[in-house]
């Protein structure tokens, strides 16, 4: 909880009230917090959420700021249930804080291996050769219709290189199709972080993440 800075707007009585309200909210919610003296915004005290990264550093991300001063400066009012004008209180809320900072902390936390639901590309479909491309495209269409984020890896490269690229980019699932898969109407799955592969039918395909 960040309190009144050296340079501020508004009167001390207003600041004292705002700080008491914020601290009461934190206590009522049972949240663990500490006081950060003098680091509030010039118009009001605030709650800062700090995230710890993979090597123990903390970064300020989300904030909630209680602003009595700006509504007073701009004469902002609302009409209450009795038809009387009242001065409102403004809440400034930033869920993530700096988006770039939040994403940086997130990537470091997961070492780039984002959970399945969060990965920009969740699945790569890898046809062994061009003759398997039609079957691979049908799988792409089916999984895309299920709301998954898919890429068809049909570049003129070896399968081993495509698999290696997928491992480097930490793609959650690599689905490989060749003669056997086309014949059996199946898919061979290679899951991120696991060396073993398994062949399953399209109807039995289940993609998820143990960490979710």
pLDDT digits 0-9 by tens, 189-205: 999 988 888 988 877 77
Looking at residue 208, its pLDDT comes to 65
Q: What's the CA gap between 130 and 178, in Å, rounded?
A: 10
* Structure confidence by residue, pLDDT tens digits, 162-190: 999 999 999 999 999 999 999 999 999 99
User: What sign for the dihedral angle of Cα 70, 74, 75, 80?
Assistant: negative
Q: In what order do the strands lie in the sheet with 150-152?
A: 150-152, 123-127, 173-177, 186-191, 197-201
Q: Residue 177 in contact with residue 136, Cβ under 8 Å?
A: yes
Q: What is the pLDDT of residues 37-92, one digit of tens each?
A: 999 999 999 999 988 888 888 888 889 999 988 898 899 999 999 999 999 999 99
Domain locations in the chain? 12-109, 123-204
The percentage of the chain sitting over the pLDDT mark of 70, rounded to a whole number, equals 98
Query: Does residue 24 have a pLDDT over 90?
Result: yes
Please count the CA atoms within 13 angstroms of the CA of 63 that sit on its side-chain side. 19
Question: What's domain 123-204's superfamily in CATH?
Answer: Anticodon-binding domain (3.40.50.800)
Q: What is the pLDDT of residues 142-161, one digit of tens each?
A: 889 888 999 999 998 999 99
Give the angle subtended at the CA of 24 by the CAs of 11 and 15, to the nearest 5°.
Answer: 5
What distance lies between CA 90 and its chain's CA centroid?
A: 26
Q: Model confidence at 212, in pLDDT bands (50, 70, 90)?
A: very low
Average pLDDT, the chain: 90
* pLDDT for position 158: 93
Where helices occur in the chain by DSSP H, the ranges are 12-28, 69-73, 99-109, 133-145, 159-168, 179-184
pLDDT band at residue 96 using 50, 70 and 90 as cut-offs: confident
Token pair 């009012």 is found at 77
Q: Compute φ and ψ for 124, nearest 5 degrees.
A: -110, 135
């Amino acid at each position: 909880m960040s309190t009144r800075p050296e340079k501020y707007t508004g009167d001390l009585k207003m600041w004292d009230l705002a700080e008491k309200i914020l601290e009461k909210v934190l206590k009522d919610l049972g949240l663990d917090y500490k006081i950060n003296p003098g680091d509030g915004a010039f118009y009001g005290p605030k709650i800062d959420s700090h995230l710890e990264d993979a090597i123990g550093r903390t970064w300020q991300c989300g904030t909630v700021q209680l602003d009595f001063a700006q509504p007073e400066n701009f004469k902002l009012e609302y009409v209450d249930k009795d038809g009387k004008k009242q001065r409102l209180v403004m809440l400034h809320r930033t869920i993530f804080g700096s988006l770039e900072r939040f994403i940086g902390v997130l990537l470091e936390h997961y070492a780039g291996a984002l959970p399945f639901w969060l990965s920009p590309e969740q699945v790569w479909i890898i046809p062994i050769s061009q003759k398997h491309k039609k079957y691979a495209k049908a799988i792409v269409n089916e999984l895309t219709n299920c709301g998954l984020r898919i890429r068809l890896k049909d570049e003129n490269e070896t399968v081993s290189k495509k698999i290696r690229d997928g491992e480097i980019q930490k793609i959650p699932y690599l689905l490989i199709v060749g003669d056997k898969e086309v014949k059996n109407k199946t898919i061979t799955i290679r899951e991120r972080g696991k060396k073993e592969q398994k062949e399953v039918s399209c109807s039995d395909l289940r993609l998820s993440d143990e960490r979710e």
